[in-house]
């Protein structure tokens, strides 16, 4: 009996994990990793495990995203970013 192919959503999730892993391997070879690549990996793993992207990032990563980086961020799927204090 042949294996049932993954559902399209699952296939897209697995493709995202594979792409993120390839970015991570490339970044390691280059001895660098961008916040975008790290976030893509966290987002892909979170989707596969039905969790939020923020669950896989450090507080510092989340602060950097909120302060410095113009990443697409959807709080419904990615989780909340920290509120920045305006002193």
Residue 80 falls inside a structural domain: no
Residue 16 falls inside a structural domain: yes
* Residue 86, pLDDT score: 60
Residue 75 falls inside a structural domain: no
pTM exceeds 0.85: no
Residue 72 falls inside a structural domain: no
- DSSP assignment of 21-64 equals HHHHHHHHHTT---HHHHHHHHHHHHHHTT--GGGGS-HHHHHH
Residue 47 falls inside a structural domain: yes
Total domains, the chain: 1
Residue 25 falls inside a structural domain: yes
Residue 77 falls inside a structural domain: no
Percent of the chain scored above 70 by pLDDT?
85
Residue pLDDT, tens place only, 17-56: 888 888 887 876 776 778 888 898 889 888 888 999 999 9
Residue-range definition of the domain harbouring residue 16: 8-65
């Amino acid at each position: 009996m042949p294996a049932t192919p993954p559902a399209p959503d699952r296939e897209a999730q697995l493709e995202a994990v594979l792409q993120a892993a390839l970015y991570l391997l490339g970044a390691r070879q280059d001895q660098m990793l961008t916040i975008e690549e790290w976030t893509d990996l966290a987002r892909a793993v979170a989707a596969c495990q039905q969790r939020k992207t923020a669950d896989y990032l450090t507080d510092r990563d989340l602060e950097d995203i909120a302060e410095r980086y113009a990443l697409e961020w959807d709080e419904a799927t990615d989780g909340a970013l920290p509120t920045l204090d305006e002193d």
